[in-house]
Structure 1
């Protein structure tokens, strides 16, 4: 009997499931006629998805964090297949925005029996993303965190990364061009999101209540001393980012980001990539079908 779908399981994601829980997840997936594939850095996830799509597979489930979702959804965009999410990562922003339960059993049930919802994605050059792309401090922070490896305690890795990144204090200078905006920006914090965040909410919990508005949101803070940046972080964590002097944002459907460097580091859905400039960033409306909880 052909499998109903595929689960891509990232055992190195932020939440370390106990071996018994991992085996329970595998068994539940098999009982639901799902294939389970363990993720590794060498695995061609998009290629495997395309092969399954040719065999008419209609459900692809990312069991991991936002980075896992990012890799699985690349081949699912612009198809009639659905993306399910079992959020066992560190922050699980995408799952939270879709109100997907954080318990893996409940999330698996949503992936199997939930409603279909068609949402926007966005694209940077040839890579799709569901959350955001970032330049400046963030890619450096992620790269330094990952230097410690997946087996290193995550809180220690974050502490190390924060210390090293703030000592280096990287910034970017970019030329931003959109339909109505042209500006040279020098900044430590530059982010483009797929639809808009509710910046009145607290820090990393800031949600996107709408993933179908068909707009990119662009945020940045002008080049600033370290101490002032710490004040920015404090207001961000308190949900008062718009009160920060100099904080800027605008919305657009497409934009071009140019740099004097031929290649730049970019954080994309929590993963770090080295990309060729200029960066072409566009919204891709109604391009991904996801499984979400049924409305009571």
Structure 2
């Protein structure tokens, strides 16, 4: 078995609208080059709507690797451009929760993340899909879309996870249980739920929600916090945040390659932090979709 090496040439594209993007762009560029990564181009994109187009142009230019700097929304919003290409995706975590970086084992501080890009290895990973839209890590129905649609950007940008948590408490007051319908092709399940997570990776909101999801498993996990009690949802997050023995007690997991997902009433879906879909949806895994850069010690090697 041979391991493909990480390219030594790359294009750096940073979401300068992300929490730390503008501040760290120049530092990232200098430190990447000092670490031995030759930057063919470097872009600080101040308009998030231009991020995907900038990545698309870099992929078309045959860049061997593109380093994306930003949060989970930046990763998810640009990952579609890598599918079907030979371009390697490298993560520079500059967001609030950085759940995708956590899933890949990429450190969250700038110097250590750059060391991974310079000295790590390639890994072939799965992506999630919701109605044909690729996502990197996790989607959610329930509290996350409520937060995503209403949270003031400045609160999230300047206070980070503390501001996000404070807004979550505010939104929690308006949360209501709903009917969830899951169909895996062999049968339909109906239940009450207060939150649903669609997991390609282990983390959501910076919290490890499952130990079973892996980005190269060839499967996706639907995790439902069941019942009508909002206290049950609070206990679930509490148990998972503090990694208590009871962390599996309040949610039910469904594992498979493809699901039809619906709710009554219909609900909005937050995809890697961005509210982009509404039930009903088709959820599936896109197995072995892209190459990413991970630490040398993380997961199985790419052969």
Q: Contact 1:142 / 1:161 at 8 angstroms: preserved in 2? A: no
Q: Find the counterpart in structure 1 of residue 194 from structure 2.
A: 188
Q: Contact 2:183 / 2:260 at 8 angstroms: preserved in 1? A: yes
Q: Runs in 1 of length 4+ with deviation above 6 angstroms?
A: none
Are 1:177 and 2:178 counterparts? no
Residues 1:95 and 1:232: Cα distance change in structure 2 (over 3 Å): closer
Report the TM-score, using the length of structure 1 for normalisation: 0.82
Match of 1:204 among 187, 204, 207: 207
1:47, distance to aligned residue in structure 2 (A): 2.6
Residues 1:55 and 1:280: Cα distance change in structure 2 (over 3 Å): same
Residues 1:211 and 1:229: Cα distance change in structure 2 (over 3 Å): closer
Q: Contact 2:121 / 2:295 at 8 angstroms: preserved in 1? A: yes
Between 1:35-44 and 1:184-193, the stretch displaced more is 35-44
Match of 2:114 among 103, 108, 119: 108
1:260, distance to aligned residue in structure 2 (A): 5.6
Counterparts of 1:45 and 1:63, CA distance in 2: 10
Q: Contact 1:97 / 1:209 at 8 angstroms: preserved in 2? A: no
Match of 1:13 among 18, 40, 51: 18
Between 1:203-212 and 1:184-193, the stretch displaced more is 203-212
Are 1:283 and 2:285 counterparts? yes
Residue 69 of structure 2 aligns to a residue whose secondary structure is strand
Structure 1: any 5+ residue segments left out of the alignment? none
After superposition, what is the alpha-carbon deviation per residue over 1:165-224, rounded to whole angstroms, capped at 9, x for unaligned? 1211144434221133412233221111115x499xxx8145667321111111112242
CA RMSD in angstroms comes to 3.0
Q: Find the counterpart in structure 2 of residue 23 from structure 1.
A: 26
Q: Find the counterpart in structure 2 of residue 123 from structure 1.
A: 129
Q: Contact 2:72 / 2:273 at 8 angstroms: preserved in 1? A: yes
Residues 1:151 and 1:243: Cα distance change in structure 2 (over 3 Å): closer
Are 1:252 and 2:256 counterparts? yes
Between 1:205-214 and 1:93-102, the stretch displaced more is 205-214
After superposition, what is the alpha-carbon deviation per residue over 1:214-264, rounded to whole angstroms, capped at 9, x for unaligned? 1111111224233343333322323222123xx211201001113466x74
Q: Contact 2:82 / 2:89 at 8 angstroms: preserved in 1? A: yes
1:18, distance to aligned residue in structure 2 (A): 8.7
Between 1:232-241 and 1:62-71, the stretch displaced more is 232-241
Counterparts of 1:208 and 1:228, CA distance in 2: 21
Report the TM-score, using the length of structure 2 for normalisation: 0.81
Q: Find the counterpart in structure 2 of residue 243 from structure 1.
A: 249
Q: Contact 1:70 / 1:129 at 8 angstroms: preserved in 2? A: yes
For 1:226-241, list aligned pairs within 5 A. 226-239=230-243, 240-241=246-247
Structure 2: any 5+ residue segments left out of the alignment? 1-7, 299-303
Counterparts of 1:238 and 1:101, CA distance in 2: 20
Counterparts of 1:268 and 1:171, CA distance in 2: 20
Are 1:218 and 2:230 counterparts? no
